[in-house]
């Protein structure tokens, strides 16, 4: 597991930090997620998505259903990236973004971190 890139951005007072990793198995995903949870104790959400050779997955981490993990997953799929994972840490800034706003925030973060 290796960190490839990391970016930060803010949308309507919510701070997002996107992490892009090389991963080979679910144990590495679990390790990364636990490390991010420790590093970002006050984060509201840490949704993620990953794709391996023959499987993939996603988590919204308590964001509304399919507004976080799925948009991240779609970007990995669209770019045909394998053995990669993107985790995006969100610190809620007090302004709700709505479903469309969340989808844009997470998919744009995923696009930017893999550039």
What are the residue boundaries of the structural domains of the chain, listed by start? 2-113
72 three-class SS: helix
Give the pLDDT of residue 61. Answer: 97
Q: Residue 10's pLDDT band (boundaries 50, 70, 90)?
A: very high
Q: Could you tell me if 53 and 84 are in contact, meaning their C-beta atoms sit under 8 angstroms apart? A: no
Give the pLDDT of residue 8. Answer: 98
Cα-to-chain-centroid distance, residue 53 = 19
pTM equals: 0.96
Domain 2-113, CATH class in plain words? alpha beta
Q: What is the pLDDT of residues 61-71, one digit of tens each?
A: 999 999 999 99
Give the pLDDT of residue 101. Answer: 97
Q: What is the pLDDT of residues 16-32, one digit of tens each?
A: 999 999 999 999 999 99
Strand partners, 20: 5, 86
Q: Residue 1's pLDDT band (boundaries 50, 70, 90)?
A: confident
The count of other CB atoms within 10 Å of the CB of residue 109 is 27
Q: How far apart are CA 11 and CA 25, in angstroms?
A: 32
């Amino acid at each position: 597991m290796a960190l490839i890139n990391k970016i930060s951005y803010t949308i309507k007072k919510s701070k997002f930090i996107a992490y892009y990793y090389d991963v080979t198995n679910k144990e590495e995903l679990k390790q990364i997620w636990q490390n991010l949870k420790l590093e970002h104790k006050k984060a509201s959400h840490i949704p993620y998505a990953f794709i391996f050779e023959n499987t993939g997955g996603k988590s919204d981490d308590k964001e509304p259903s399919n507004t976080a993990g799925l948009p991240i997953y779609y970007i990995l799929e669209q770019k045909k990236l394998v053995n990669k994972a993107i985790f995006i840490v969100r610190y809620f800034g007090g302004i709700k973004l709505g479903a469309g706003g969340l989808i844009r925030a997470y998919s744009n973060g995923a696009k930017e971190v893999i550039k």
